[in-house]
């Protein structure tokens, strides 16, 4: 007596198709918000100086470190890896909406770095000369230049 086993792979094929057309998430100082008011440097130049540090500037990572250390936990808390999220991707036949939610969560993580002094890791600025008593937000141009997109 032989038994026939039938594998129902329709949902698997739909999931594979959704990932075949995967978009890219971009979070950072994207082209449209690079210019600064009243400054000879761009937001990208100032951002790179803070992100990597310089001769007279301590490193204050507002992109790489916060995203590496906090994004996965934020996504788990938001249920982005739950069965319901996977089911939605399969139903939509696309991961674009799912990736958009990830990009918004990533932007939130980056903006929270500004609000928390790099999650408590940034060396504080000399506040004696600052109007705004918070590291990296004197004019708010750098923070406000950070955006996200899914392409």
pLDDT at position 11 is 77
Whether residue 10 lies inside any domain: the answer is no
Place of tokens 């955006």: 147
pLDDT at position 130 is 55
pLDDT at position 110 is 97
0.85 exceeded by pTM: no
Instruction: Render the burial of 123-133: b for 16+ CB within 10 Å, e for the rest.
Output: eebeeeeeeee
Domain region containing 63: 22-150
Whether residue 17 lies inside any domain: the answer is no
Q: Is the pLDDT of residue 84 over 90?
A: yes
Whether residue 7 lies inside any domain: the answer is no
Two structure tokens written together for 20: 């075949």
Whether residue 116 lies inside any domain: the answer is yes
Total domain count, the chain: 1
């Amino acid at each position: 007596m032989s038994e026939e086993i039938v594998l129902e792979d329709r949902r698997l094929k739909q999931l594979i198709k959704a990932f075949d057309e995967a978009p890219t998430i971009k979070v950072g100082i994207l082209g449209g918000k690079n210019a600064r008011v009243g400054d000879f440097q761009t937001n990208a130049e100032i951002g790179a100086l803070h992100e990597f540090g310089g001769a007279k500037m301590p490193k204050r990572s507002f992109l790489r470190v916060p995203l590496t250390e906090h994004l996965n936990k934020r996504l788990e808390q938001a249920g982005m890896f739950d069965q319901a999220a996977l089911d939605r991707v399969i139903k939509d036949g696309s991961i674009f909406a799912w990736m958009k939610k990830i990009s918004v969560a990533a932007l939130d993580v980056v903006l929270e770095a500004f609000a928390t002094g790099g999650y408590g890791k940034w060396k504080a600025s000399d506040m004696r000369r600052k109007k705004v008593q918070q590291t990296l937000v004197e004019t708010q141009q750098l923070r406000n230049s950070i955006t996200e997109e899914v392409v």
